[in-house]
Amino acid sequence: MTQVNKMEVSEIIAWCREKDVELDRVLILSNVSADCEDRIIYSVLDAVLGSGKCKVLDRRSDKTKRLQFVLLETADSISKMSIPAELGEPELVDAINSLVQTCHVASSEERVGYRKLRPFSGFIPTPPGEDEYEVWIEQTTHILEEWQCSDNVKKQRLVECLRGPAADIVRFEKTSNPSASFSDYLSALESAFGTTEDASDLLLKFRSTYQSEGEKLSAYILRLDRMLHSMLRKKGIEFSAMNHLRMQQIVRGALSSDLVAMRLRMTHKLCAPPSFNELMKEVREEETLLKDRSSAQSNVAVSADDPFLEVDTTNTNMGDSEVEKLKREIRGLKNEVSRLSAAAKEPITHDHPALHSLAALAESKTQTRPVNKANVFCYRCGEDGHLKRECTKDENLRRVNQRLIKMRQSSGNFSGAQ
């Protein structure tokens, strides 16, 4: 006896011949989950047909690749098996299928570790210890979809984490729709606490989101991904389109000065858009490399510009020490020249401090040369034979002016300050 469900009779015959089993000693279970273990099938068969009545010979996936056909060999011919009169052969296979699915679900629920969802109340402002709705619903939706348990268990765990207005919303939904699923509960919460923007508004907002100055590209990608998930919940986009939309907006909205984004712009057309995890891993690695390289260059620049920076003598040769010493001397000379140049630009008077400084410098440079005192006169008293700094006589500016006028008329040049 065979139960045909999306499997042709010719395929069943070929399968039985391949396994060398007679057709009248065959049962085929359909729509069996791919991860349903043999022990679950045996426990159901023993309860329905009796212990040792059947043996699992083989499995084959259906067209969806999610479910399987299971080939069973019975100990006796189907015609000789004691089957209740009210239960025909097709009904027997259907009953076994149903029991296998029920046992498999129950077993899966037992294996799933209990993980309590984060609390949510819907109060504004958000109470301490709670997340904002957008953060909470994204995490909760992901966890509930990943749990391999029945819809009733998911609803129970969702209700357990709700408080205040959020709990009221779900209770109202359950009252108006007793057969509501956990997805219906989430839809009710979305209507009450989610954004009022529809999918087209969210897409427009997504297209208008750009990277801010000083914002890392990885942080910008996170902002874009949250908006993509909001559109996904609103059924504005398909999951398969998320990677393409994300990369497209990064190319459009990232800063032109961002080096990582610049590389993505150059290469994004050469390959399929990566997933969120792949993209974030690649971007964060490049950001780290750029940061390390920038730090290394800054250290080199500081070492080159600061001649007084302490240097490890164990790694520095004598030539480098001499160069640093010369740099310090040149810096000191430049500072002295700049100071003297600034002083020379100020108005010159005979009593100006800079004038005396320059005279003293000139005297120190010419100490070894004899001075012809016959050609000089004092700028204090106007007499010959000595300088102003050596003068002990009373000041006579009129005589000094007369001597200066006479010198200009005779030579056309001013000899300069003493």
Provide the 10 A C-beta neighbour count for residue 99: 17
Q: Is residue 331 part of a domain?
A: no
**Domain shared by 101 and 25, yes or no:** yes
CATH code (residue 52): 3.30.70
Q: Is residue 358 part of a domain?
A: no
Q: Is residue 27 part of a domain?
A: yes
Average the pLDDT over 76-103 and give the result. Answer: 61
**Domain shared by 17 and 101, yes or no:** yes
**Domain shared by 13 and 85, yes or no:** yes
For 86, counting Cβ atoms within 10 Å of its Cβ (0-12 exposed, 13-18 middle, 19+ buried), the class is exposed
**Domain shared by 139 and 86, yes or no:** no
Average the pLDDT over 34-53 and give the result. Answer: 76
Q: Is residue 40 part of a domain?
A: yes
**Domain shared by 76 and 156, yes or no:** no
For residue 194, what pLDDT is reported? 84
Strands of 6-86 (E only): list them. 26-33, 54-61, 67-74
Please report which confidence band the pLDDT of residue 369 belongs to, taking 50, 70 and 90 as the band edges: very low
Phi and psi dihedrals of 212, rounded to 5? -85, 155
pTM for this entry: 0.40
HSE toward the beta carbon, residue 343, CA cutoff 13 A: 15
Structure token digits, residue 229:
């998930």
| Span of 154-168, 238-252, 282-296 with lowest mean pLDDT | 282-296
Cα(415)–Cα(151) distance, integer angstroms = 109
Are the beta carbons of 48 and 96 closer than 8 angstroms?
A: yes
**Domain shared by 94 and 15, yes or no:** yes
Cα(94)–Cα(190) distance, integer angstroms = 39
**Domain shared by 169 and 240, yes or no:** no
**Domain shared by 273 and 237, yes or no:** yes
Structure token digits, residue 159:
């209700």
Q: Which of 297, 322, 350 is the last residue of a domain?
A: 297
pLDDT at 2 over 60: no
Are the beta carbons of 106 and 61 closer than 8 angstroms?
A: no
For 100, counting Cβ atoms within 10 Å of its Cβ (0-12 exposed, 13-18 middle, 19+ buried), the class is buried
Q: Which of 111, 143, 171 is the last residue of a domain?
A: 111
For residue 3, what pLDDT is reported? 43
Q: Is residue 73 part of a domain?
A: yes
Q: Is residue 349 part of a domain?
A: no
Q: Is the peptide bond before 370 cis (omega within 30 degrees of 0)?
A: no
Q: Which of 297, 319, 346 is the last residue of a domain?
A: 297
State how many domains the chain has.
4
Which residue range(s) make up the domain with 91? Answer: 9-111
Q: Is residue 241 part of a domain?
A: yes
Q: Is residue 278 part of a domain?
A: yes
